[in-house]
Amino acid sequence: DGVPLPGDIHPGDLLAVPVAGAYHLAMASAYNLVGRPPVVAVTDGRARVLVRRESLADMSLRDIGL
C-alpha cells in the first residue's frame, strides 16, 4: 500500500522485490494455496534461480487427504 509503481505494469508481469525480509522464504506459508516464491540471485544483469517457485503440485504432494 502506498508504494509507487511504473504505470505500465500489467497482470502477469514479473515484479522483483529486492530483500523482502521476513516475508519471504523463511516466513512463507501455503495459506490460501499461494506457493512460496522463488529465490533468484541477480548479478551484472544475469539472473540465477537459487530456489524454484513452489507449485500447486508441490503443495499437493504434502496433502495426505482424509
Q: Determine the Cα–Cα distance for residues 44 and 46; give it in Å rounded to an integer.
A: 6
pLDDT of 52? 92
Model confidence pTM above 0.85: no
Of 32, 26, 30, 23, the closest CA to residue 54 belongs to 30
Please list the pLDDT of the chain residue by residue as tens digits (66 residues).
677 888 999 988 877 777 666 666 777 777 777 788 788 888 888 889 998 988 888 888 888 876
pLDDT of 41? 86
CA 10 to chain centre: 17
Residues 58 and 35: beta-carbon distance below 8 Å: yes
pLDDT of 39? 84
pLDDT of 1? 61
